């Protein structure tokens, strides 16, 4: 990822006014590990997730919170994600998807599944 991160920083510094305010979230397994490879990003915040997906969700949520008002807390987002994941797995297994097919679900199918699940959730809240 050092190459892609370098391109992102290059866009911000040399891409003109439109890209000057570009922001990115830098995630790393261990907070200080990047220093061995990327000394050029010293002074930039690096978030660590310790290989824990719940922490990862909270870090992304915290980063987005500066631009998106009234986000639920990270633990709530994680809870909702696990509910959706269980629903999706059961739904696809009923349709005879293999484990591998579930893991490789296309982005379009995943988005459609999220929308369907959200509609079911909204309908159950009004009952």
CA gap 79, 70 in Å, rounded: 17
The predicted pLDDT at position 16 comes to 82
107 versus 18: the higher-pLDDT residue is 107
Q: What is the spatial distance between Cα 116 and Cα 121, in angstroms, rounded to a whole number?
A: 9
CB 26 within 8 A of CB 47: yes
Overall average pLDDT of the 48-77 stretch: 89
8-11: Cβ within 8 A, 24+ apart: 9/40, 9/41
The pLDDT value given to residue 31 = 62
Mean pLDDT of the chain: 83
Tell whether pTM > 0.85: no
Say yes or no to pLDDT of 8 above 70. Answer: yes
């Amino acid at each position: 990822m050092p190459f892609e991160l370098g391109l992102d920083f290059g866009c911000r510094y040399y891409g003109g006014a439109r890209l000057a305010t570009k922001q990115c979230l830098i995630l790393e397994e261990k907070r200080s590990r990047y220093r061995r490879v990327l000394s050029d990003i010293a002074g930039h915040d690096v978030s660590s997730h310790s290989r824990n997906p719940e922490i990862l969700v909270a870090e992304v949520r915290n980063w987005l919170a500066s631009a998106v008002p009234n986000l639920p807390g990270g633990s709530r987002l994680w809870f909702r994600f696990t509910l959706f994941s269980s629903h999706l797995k059961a739904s696809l297994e009923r349709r005879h998807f293999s484990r591998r097919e579930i893991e490789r679900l296309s982005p379009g199918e995943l988005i459609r599944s999220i929308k369907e699940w959200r509609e079911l959730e909204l309908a159950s809240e009004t009952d």
